[in-house]
Chains A and B, each alone.
Chain A
Amino acid sequence: MSAFREIVELYKHQIYSVSLDFTGNHHDAEDVVQEVLIKVYRSLHKFRGDARLSTWLHRVTVNTCLDRRRKASVPTTSSEEIPQYAERFAASDPQCNPEKAAELNRMQEQIDGALSSLTPLERSVFVLRNYSGLPLKEVARVLGRSEGTVKNMLWRALRKLQKELAIYGRELGLEASK
């Protein structure tokens, strides 16, 4: 058990961050982390060492998030969570007046909305590449897809996001899409 605790201490931040990027709120992210740890604990003996432990943990985390999404069929970002952005902007930047905080808050809502427009797999690829910083080869390993497929998905994801965000082009500093 102490060896497993070491794994948890080493990777809990990684598992939590990916879960949070997928679910968009802390409540669900905490649940996902626990679900992932139970799965990993029960199947650690199946880990054959042919992939890196972090890759395997990413895979379990992503699959857990996708399973939950499939079962719940609900948007990943909770509406209760969104107002927290405004409070955080205000707290992190004393210069940030309430209007500015509200504007930033709205922008974050739009970004979350754009992210929700992606299919689960597109979102997985985008989150792993963009927010977890995994190279495409590693993303392919985590998702068990070819690198070409993953590249196509990332391409599609970026195009969709560009289109979704184009509506708010000027506000978000984006040029109108072609």
Chain B
Amino acid sequence: MISCRECRDRLLDALYGELDPAGRLAFDEHVAACPNCAADYAGLEQTRRVMDTRKPEPPSEKILEGIWPAFLDRLRQQKAERSTGRPWHWQRWVLNLAAASALVAVGVLIGRYGRFAGEPVSTTPASKEPAAAAGLNLDDRVGRYLERSKLVLMSVDNMKSAAGEAAANDLSAERKISRDLLRESRALKKGLDASRDEQLLELMAQLEMTLIQIANLRDPRVPLGVELVKTGIEERALLFKINLEEMRRASERLSKSKRDRESTRRRVG
């Protein structure tokens, strides 16, 4: 016969009829012989029986039939709010800010690589070489990853998604860069600290979803795929979040260099 402890372990399964026949038999045998377990089981069974008498009034046909029209109404209302309301203007403002920041960043990139590498730099970040091989430290690699991700997202975001215009889209570069970025993201995650870089890791996880979508965009002439990616970028406010992360990192670098300067001054003094 099973022990009281085993009986207790099976109590919930017995209550909801989830025990197999052999388990049920062993449970019933124990309950028949043990007054404590029997009382325990009876108490819970009665509680359940009473709770089962709770009968919220089932929805009427009228309510159920009204669900779809009400949904269409709400959807239309939200679309109207987006085109005229304040939240949409706010989003537009954020995207404009993101676009302006990206332009500045592209300028910085051109300046940096153009000066040190002595060769023309494409605004399309299609470098095949892994960042690690280029001798960058983790911090620089993260910066580069964010920068390239932003450019890819902006590139897709600017694509035509209307049925007649989508044929002009060429996604080959974006798909390739997205694959590179996914590889880079996996490599970077190994070096990041889950507690210190929680925000960045969360952003990278969200970016990964969109990069996978871009990497898998098969036919650029099918506008739905591009539209879905664009909606994802907008709804997750990815460009805005990348900008925030970049600002946060820039500010961290600034405070660190300040601290370093002060400690050097103290040492010299």
Contacts and interface: CB of A to CB of B under 8 A. Distances in A.
B50 A174 contact: yes
Interface string B61-75: 001100110110011
B44 interface: yes
A158 B160 CA distance: 56
Contacts, number: 103
A161 B68 contact: no
A16 B64 contact: yes
Contact of A135 (B18, B57, B74, B232): B18
26 contacts: A5-B68, A8-B68, A13-B59, A13-B64, A16-B63, A16-B64, A26-B59, A29-B59, A34-B67, A34-B70, A37-B71, A38-B71, A38-B78, A41-B71, A42-B231, A107-B53, A114-B51, A126-B51, A130-B48, A130-B51, A130-B52, A155-B12, A172-B50, A174-B43, A175-B42, A175-B43
Given A20-B56, A88-B57, A12 B67 contact: yes
Interface string A37-52: 1100111011000000
A161 B47 contact: yes
Among all A-B residue pairs, the 10 with the closest Cβ atoms: A162-B47, A111-B54, A45-B228, A37-B71, A172-B50, A174-B46, A20-B56, A12-B67, A16-B59, A161-B47
A38 B75 contact: yes
Interface residues of B, number: 37
Nearest to A12: B67
Interface in A1-60: 5, 8-9, 12-13, 16-17, 20-21, 24, 26, 29-30, 33-34, 37-38, 41-43, 45-46
B44 A38 contact: no
Nearest to A155: B12
Contacts of B75: 38, 41
B129 interface: no
Contacts of A88: 55, 57
A154 B32 CA distance: 24
A173 interface: yes
A97 interface: no
A84 interface: yes
B50 A173 contact: yes
Please report whether the interface of chain A is mostly helix, strand, loop or mixed according to DSSP: helix
A30 B56 CA distance: 14
Contacts of B47: 158, 161-162, 165, 174
Nearest to B232: A45
Interface residues of A, number: 49
A117 interface: no
A162 B57 contact: no
Nearest to B9: A151
Nearest to B18: A135
- By CB atoms of chain A within 10 A, which of B16, B71, B228 has the most? B71
Nearest to A21: B56
Contacts of B53: 107-108, 111
A129 interface: yes
Contacts of B104: none
Interface string A145-160: 0000001001100100
B22 to A, nearest CB: 19
A9 B68 contact: yes
